[in-house]
Homo-oligomer: A and B are copies of this chain.
């Protein structure tokens, strides 16, 4: 049931070497009739080269490992990876997803055994991870390698500027308490801090919370009363704070202003609806894809997508 290049060769009446070359782009050297015969045979037999054989012969596989952050994997991220999967597949690369676990041992084993063409992560590699990848002779791609998809600073900055433009002057950033869930938090808070500096405001405060009624209330206490404008790690955090504030009888945005991030569907359902930031993953995906194709030597054109992050403020009623 499994078709090998040998089968294709026999079926086309040529040698295996011929098949291999024709199917791998080195086909100019052959007569057009032969090319056609081979291509047709491959198609008719449903031939799909064995990844293992190919890997062995070439020294590295066609797999690209994407580390997926331990954060909610909503529709946006799904589309992102879905897009990447298709685009890379068009270049013969197979995207494979791995949950990024705290223990790097498992990642090390996978990299060593898989010999991926590249390792990709939306979050910055830890030093451990970087070492692991480098040691195996694999190239990694993370936001630090290119600024194309490091929008997190820009996100915090935009949140800050938006709040400030609305006249808010006491700013704070709300993280997710669980650090694993908060992979982009530090960068975003950085951005917020920069916005404060620009406006001559003191550095923003910082709280961390779980998305639960109780912990949101605690976070409100930690913040220290009303009058704050909070840039939230994401819409879930904003929703939790909004809910706690409402229960407490605070008016949003008068007593507490909130700006979220992600433009989630649930964020549109609150009262007031959240003001939030929309993040164009389309462009980020393009950048990531281009980066990977470059690394793996598949980049067809030298042109690189120069467009920058397209962040949009989605007006709600929470600031």
Contact = CB atoms under 8 A, between A and B. Distances in A.
Nearest to A100: B82
A19 interface: no
A136 B48 CA distance: 11
Nearest to A3: B112
A116 B164 CA distance: 54
B135 A106 contact: no
A136 to B, nearest CB: 7
B99 A96 contact: no
Interface in A46-99: 46, 48-56, 61-62, 68, 70, 72-75, 77-78, 81-82, 85-86, 89, 94, 96-99
Contacts of A2: 112, 115, 136-137
A70 B236 CA distance: 20
A106 B83 CA distance: 13
Given A96-B98, A113-B94, A236 B265 contact: yes
Interface string A192-223: 00000000000000000011110010000000
Nearest to A110: B94
A144 interface: no
Contact of A239 (B101, B108, B211, B269): B269
Interface residues of A, number: 63
Nearest to A181: B75
Given A72-B74, A74-B72, A212 B99 contact: no
Contacts of A236: 265-266
Which has the most chain B C-beta neighbours within 10 Å: A50, A98, A239? A50
A1 B101 CA distance: 24
A1 B94 contact: no
Contacts of A246: 271
A97 B110 CA distance: 13
Given A52-B55, A96-B97, A96-B98, 13 more contacts: A2-B115, A50-B113, A51-B52, A51-B113, A51-B115, A52-B52, A75-B181, A82-B99, A86-B106, A89-B106, A89-B109, A94-B110, A239-B266
Those 7 A-B pairs whose CB atoms lie nearest each other, nearest first: A73-B73, A48-B112, A97-B97, A52-B55, A51-B113, A243-B269, A211-B265
